[in-house]
Structure 1
Amino acid sequence: MSRVPQSPSRRLLLAGALAAVSAAVTGCSLGSEAATSGGSKRLRIGYFAFPSGDLIVKNKKLLEKALPDYEITWIRFDSGASVNQAFIGKSLDIAALGSSPFARGVSGSSPIPYKVAWILDVAGENEALVVRKDTRISDVAGLKGRTIGTPFASTSHYSLLAALETAGLKASDVELVDLQPQAVLAAWQRGDIDAAYVWLPTLDELRKTGTQLTSSKEVGGAGKPTLDLAVVSDDLIAEDPQAIDAWRKAEAEALRLLTSDPDGSVKAVAAELGISAADAGAQLRQGVFLTPEQVASADWLGTDDSPGKLLGYVTDTGRFLAGQKQIDAAPSGDVVRKAFYLKGLSDAVK
């Protein structure tokens, strides 16, 4: 990755990003303190404002109905990096997390104490690389020497590095800027960046004045897929596996509703994102959603006795990140396997 000059505006952007992470972790820490007081059980769930089954579970209160004796707190995050920080601070029980930040989280000598337990979606056209139309750039190779914004340690960051490599470019051939989605949009509107790799809904705003060069669907089809996973803390696995079973069943119901009740699903996502039903429907169509049975199949998560292909995807992601000097060393397949929680998954999708 290229080193970004520390201009005053850049320092302000970095300070803002750090403040956002701090605020998110502090916010969940309050929930952590509350969870240890009183007699009621509580779950702290991290989610993204991104079209998925998670938003349907939240909007329709599927988990609250399944666990009426629990106090459930939903905490919004902007990127996987801040989710990882929150788990390190023991401020979350369950959370959405991209496959790239998950691979980072399980690498190193002190892996984050969580395990993947569900797949929310497979990245498709809902994450993409867009360049400003006024640059007249028409392919990824044309980005050499240009400034590109993306949230570091995210699936978009991983897919961007993969796209650059496929185009014959190194990270040092461009200027990478670490920006959260809203900061990406602001930098784009100011003309501070030439291109960005980011996800919905910010992505749709960039498309209005930009040209899409590639997407995570294309990058994945070329051998480097990314996914939105869901992870559970080691503490929750040890102390309350029944809550995980109930949560999985709620997520499975949401995936089924995407097919059986598309209009209701669109309304739920629109309400959670504060957008029109038309926009919500368009955003949902850009994602790739598995059936619950596919989630537990050999092609994806698999079973406790026989993990699926996701194990290889995450291991390959770790190797790629290590090769790009994004992490010190790639986690072994055995280390990644230990970061999978598959007990009870088959029953949850019945």
Structure 2
Amino acid sequence: MNLPLKPLLGLALASALAGAQAAETIRVAIGTQDTTINCATGGLLIRELKLLEKYLPREGRYKDVQYDVQWKNFTSGAPLTNEMVADKLDIGSMADFPGANNGAAFLKAGKQSLFITVLSGSTLGSGNGIVVPRDSKVTALSELKGRTISVPFASTAHGMLLRAVASQGWDPQKDVNIITQAPEVAGPALQAGKIEAHADFVPFAELFEHRGFARKIYDGAQANAPTYHGSLVSAEYARKYPEVVVAFLRAAIEADRLIAAEPEQYSELIEKVTGIEAAVAYLYHGPLGLQTRDFTWKPEYRTALKTSIETLKLLGRDSPLEATSFVDDRFIRTAFKQSGLDYDARLARHDKLPLKASDALTGKPITDVQRAAGVWVQGEPKVRHYASIENAFADLQKLQQSGKKARGVYVHDLIHRIKLLAPNTWFAADAKGQLSAFLQKDAATAYAAANKGRVLDFAGAQAAAKPAL
């Protein structure tokens, strides 16, 4: 039986097209910053827990698709941006300032990138910090005039440093000597006393403190300049595969849910992957953390991006980039909806991950967190929480006397409401012996004077602590 040639050719073409569709491979190339631990929900946790694979679309046009998921880790945003612009990566996570660089670099190359979500940040500005060598006599930014300060150039910490210097009324070209230095170089330099101060992003100011060779003297919250890390995507990729972009964001949302429920467990995972101690990761990701994990584009974060674009101009890098067109919240809104979450309700909230715990010394529920404290004991899976610094330090003394050690001790700055590592914190004891914590020595001194008290370091505060049962 002879069949007409034309229908056969049509069938062959259809078969070939079907085969081509079945053979389609979609690349999902993601750039991460593992050591920038507040990017964890947009990278490390998704990768290590294989969450992306759960949400990649498998129906409709994606029914027979093969996914080529690629991960590449970076220590900062600039090299990640280079690979995104070169079409070697599709999605990447970085802070507001390098994110502005990303958008400007795409436009310069005749392309476009989109800032699709926030991952974690602080509407106050906490997360960037300035440290000095532990034995330095410097206790405040105002004492750094005429000194050399290193910072990773083009980072969000660089933007914070420029704004902090400006807030002192200084000329960054004349009144301080700002040099570029990556955190992996700054750490040894601080240990050796080769630099007078160093500004850095999450989590290095606190990490250097925790490792015992630096003291944080300035936190970005003092500048009241909001900051955040988030994820960007090539606009071309987003137009081509919007469902894949939403899948990435749904994986990020699940990563956030997991770490919110078990912050100690996933801080341990971050330590295993990055070498950054779990105690430092918990400082950020635990209840009342130094920053807040948040996927919504709050007005403060939009303002931070606008400020970052303006900072680019201060550095002589003019760009037609506009924050209003650079931010695209359509994908995260869709991801929230598909995850059964209310985006607008979360957008309206500014609260941190709440502390729901009882005092480990008294057993009473903690209702006032203004002077709350925590101790993570080595060998224990969970952080012990306390309603007061006095209770925490009194219990810590008992623990130490029994031969136990703390891997992390946490208090909260009374003024800025930010979480601090207690060993490098200043304390003020009032006339009744109540302890309050302060990042800055001058703030502790002022509080002590106003309350007929005295200023104490960590050891002194421990010695003075009498549990407020």
TM-score norm. by structure 1 comes to: 0.76
Q: Does the CA-based 8 Å contact 2:207-2:280 persist in structure 1?
A: no
Partner in structure 1 of residue 424 of structure 2: none
2:193 matches 1:191? yes
Partner in structure 2 of residue 288 of structure 1: 291
**Aligned ranges for residues 82-231 of structure 1 at < 5 Å?**
82-107=79-104, 110=108, 113-123=112-122, 125-172=126-173, 173-207=175-209, 208-219=212-223, 222=224, 224-231=225-232
Partner in structure 1 of residue 36 of structure 2: 50
Structure 2 unaligned blocks of 5 or more:
1-22, 59-65, 342-469
* Aligned-residue CA RMSD (Å): 2.5
Q: Which amino acid aligns with 1:82?
A: P
**In 2, distance between residues paired with 1:254 and 1:152?**
30
**How many Å apart are 1:84 and its aligned residue?**
1.8
Q: Does the CA-based 8 Å contact 2:126-2:227 persist in structure 1?
A: no
Q: Does the CA-based 8 Å contact 2:77-2:155 persist in structure 1?
A: yes
Query: What do residues 5-52 of structure 1 show as CA deviations (whole Å, max 9, x unaligned)?
Result: xxxxxxxxxxxxxxxxxxxxxxxxxxxxxxxxx842221111112223
Partner in structure 2 of residue 66 of structure 1: 55
Query: What do residues 72-121 of structure 1 show as CA deviations (whole Å, max 9, x unaligned)?
Result: 22111111111221222121111111101122333486266311001111
Rg (Cα) greater in structure: 2
Q: Does the CA-based 8 Å contact 1:121-1:289 persist in structure 2?
A: yes
**How many Å apart are 1:142 and its aligned residue?**
1.2
**How many Å apart are 1:230 and its aligned residue?**
0.6
Q: Which amino acid aligns with 1:165?
A: A
Q: Which amino acid aligns with 1:110?
A: K
- Percent same amino acid at aligned positions? 24
Q: Does the CA-based 8 Å contact 1:44-1:91 persist in structure 2?
A: yes
**In 1, distance between residues paired with 2:294 and 2:191?**
38
Partner in structure 2 of residue 244 of structure 1: 245
**How many Å apart are 1:188 and its aligned residue?**
2.1
**How many Å apart are 1:252 and its aligned residue?**
1.2
Structure 1 unaligned blocks of 5 or more:
1-37, 301-307
Q: Which amino acid aligns with 1:53?
A: T
**How many Å apart are 1:247 and its aligned residue?**
0.5
Q: Does the CA-based 8 Å contact 2:191-2:213 persist in structure 1?
A: no
**In 1, distance between residues paired with 2:102 and 2:202?**
23
Partner in structure 1 of residue 351 of structure 2: none
Q: Does the CA-based 8 Å contact 2:115-2:232 persist in structure 1?
A: yes
Partner in structure 2 of residue 27 of structure 1: none
Question: How has the CA–CA distance of structure 1 residues 315 and 279 changed in structure 2, closer, same or farther, with 3 Å as cutoff?
Answer: closer
**In 2, distance between residues paired with 1:280 and 1:320?**
29
Q: Does the CA-based 8 Å contact 2:263-2:285 persist in structure 1?
A: no
Partner in structure 1 of residue 400 of structure 2: none
Q: Does the CA-based 8 Å contact 2:31-2:89 persist in structure 1?
A: yes
Question: How has the CA–CA distance of structure 1 residues 65 and 279 changed in structure 2, closer, same or farther, with 3 Å as cutoff?
Answer: same
Q: Which has the higher helix share?
A: 1
**In 2, distance between residues paired with 1:73 and 1:195?**
37
Q: Which amino acid aligns with 2:157?
A: S
2:347 matches 1:348? no
Query: What do residues 295-331 of structure 1 show as CA deviations (whole Å, max 9, x unaligned)?
Result: 15xxx2xxxxxxx553333122222342xx3133364
Higher relative contact order (CA 8 A, sep 6+): 1
**How many Å apart are 1:201 and its aligned residue?**
4.4
**In 2, distance between residues paired with 1:251 and 1:244?**
11
2:72 matches 1:75? yes
Partner in structure 1 of residue 347 of structure 2: none
Q: Which amino acid aligns with 2:229?
A: D
Partner in structure 1 of residue 25 of structure 2: 40
**How many Å apart are 1:259 and its aligned residue?**
2.0
Partner in structure 2 of residue 29 of structure 1: none
Q: Which amino acid aligns with 1:179?
A: Q
What is the aligned residue count?
Answer: 294
